[in-house]
Structure 1
Amino acid sequence: MIESAAIRYFREVTEAGSIKQAAATLRIAPSAISRQIQAIEEELSVKLFERNARGMVLTDAGRLVYRYAVDNRSLLDGIRARVQEFETMRRGQIKLATVEGMLSNFLSNFLIELSADYPGIFVSTTVLGSRAVAEIVGRNEVDLGLVFGRAPRRDLIELARMRQSLCLIVAPTHPLATRESCTVKELAGLRVVVPDPSFGIRQEVDRACATAKIRLEICSETNSLAFAQMLAWRTDLATFLPRNTAMPAIEAGRIVAVPLRDPRLEATQVTLVQLASRTISPSCRMVADLLVARMKSARE
Structure 2
Amino acid sequence: MKTSLHGIGLRYFVEVARTGSLSDASVALHVATSAISRQVAKLEEELGCQLFDRLPRGMVLTEGGRKLMAYATRSMLDGEHIANELRGLDLERTGTVRVACTQGFAYSFLPAAIASFLDGHPKVKFQLYVGSPSVVAQRVRDGESDVALSFSLRPISGVHIEHSEPASIYVLMRQDDPLASRRHLSMADLAGRHFLLPEQGTTLRELVEIAAELAGVDLDPVLESNNSYAMYAFAKKTGALMFTAIVSVSGRYEEDGFLAIPLKDDVLGRREFQIQTMSGRVLPPLLADFCEHVKVQKKLVSTLTRSRKKTMA
Q: Please state which band the TM-score falls in when normalised by the shorter chain.
A: 0.5 to 0.7
* Offset of residue 156 of structure 1: 0.7
Q: Which amino acid aligns with 2:94?
A: R
Aligned position for 2:223: 220
Is this contact kept in 2: 1:151–1:158, CA < 8 A?
no
Could you report, residue by residue, the CA deviation over 1:145-166 in whole angstroms, capped at 9, with x for unpaired residues?
A: 1121245422111100133311
Aligned position for 1:262: 265
Q: Considering only aligned residues, what root-mean-square deviation do their CA atoms show, in Å?
A: 2.5
Aligned position for 2:102: 99
SS of the aligned residue for 2:106 comes to: helix
Distance 1:121 1:150 in 2: 32
Aligned position for 1:72: none
2:159 is aligned with 1:156? yes
From 78, 83, 88, the counterpart of 1:84: 88
Distance 1:152 1:188 in 2: 32
Relative to structure 1, is the Cα distance of residues 299 and 258 closer, same or farther in structure 2, using a 3 angstrom cutoff? closer
Is this contact kept in 2: 1:134–1:151, CA < 8 A?
no
Aligned position for 1:185: 188
From 266, 272, 277, the counterpart of 2:275: 272
* Offset of residue 245 of structure 1: 1.9
Is this contact kept in 1: 2:183–2:261, CA < 8 A?
yes
Could you report, residue by residue, the CA deviation over 1:6-33 in whole angstroms, capped at 9, with x for unpaired residues?
A: xxxxxxxxxxxxxxxxxxxxxxxxxxxx
From 101, 110, 113, the counterpart of 1:110: 113
Could you report, residue by residue, the CA deviation over 1:113-142 in whole angstroms, capped at 9, with x for unpaired residues?
A: 111110111111111121221122222211
Relative to structure 1, is the Cα distance of residues 266 and 280 closer, same or farther in structure 2, using a 3 angstrom cutoff? closer
TM-score with structure 2 setting the length:
0.63
Relative to structure 1, is the Cα distance of residues 280 and 266 closer, same or farther in structure 2, using a 3 angstrom cutoff? closer
Alignment of 1:173-212 (within 5 A): 173-212=176-215
Distance 2:129 2:249 in 1: 20
From 118, 140, 143, the counterpart of 2:143: 140
Q: Which amino acid aligns with 1:276?
A: S
Structure possessing the higher radius of gyration over alpha carbons: 1
Q: Which amino acid aligns with 2:122?
A: P
Distance 2:178 2:133 in 1: 31
Is this contact kept in 2: 1:171–1:234, CA < 8 A?
no
Q: State the aligned residue count.
A: 219
Q: Which amino acid aligns with 1:176?
A: L
Could you report, residue by residue, the CA deviation over 1:165-222 in whole angstroms, capped at 9, with x for unpaired residues?
A: 1111112233222322211112223211111013221112112112223222211111
TM-score with structure 1 setting the length:
0.65
Is this contact kept in 1: 2:209–2:219, CA < 8 A?
no
Q: Which amino acid aligns with 2:109?
A: F
Structure 2 unaligned segments of length 5 or more: list them: 1-84, 304-313
Relative to structure 1, is the Cα distance of residues 265 and 151 closer, same or farther in structure 2, using a 3 angstrom cutoff? closer
Distance 1:151 1:284 in 2: 24
Q: Which amino acid aligns with 2:135?
A: A
Relative to structure 1, is the Cα distance of residues 83 and 264 closer, same or farther in structure 2, using a 3 angstrom cutoff? farther
Distance 2:242 2:298 in 1: 25
Relative to structure 1, is the Cα distance of residues 138 and 114 closer, same or farther in structure 2, using a 3 angstrom cutoff? same
Is this contact kept in 2: 1:190–1:217, CA < 8 A?
no
SS of the aligned residue for 2:273 comes to: strand
* Offset of residue 105 of structure 1: 3.7
Is this contact kept in 1: 2:109–2:250, CA < 8 A?
no
SS of the aligned residue for 2:88 comes to: helix
Is this contact kept in 2: 1:196–1:222, CA < 8 A?
yes
The share of aligned pairs that are identical, in percent, is: 20
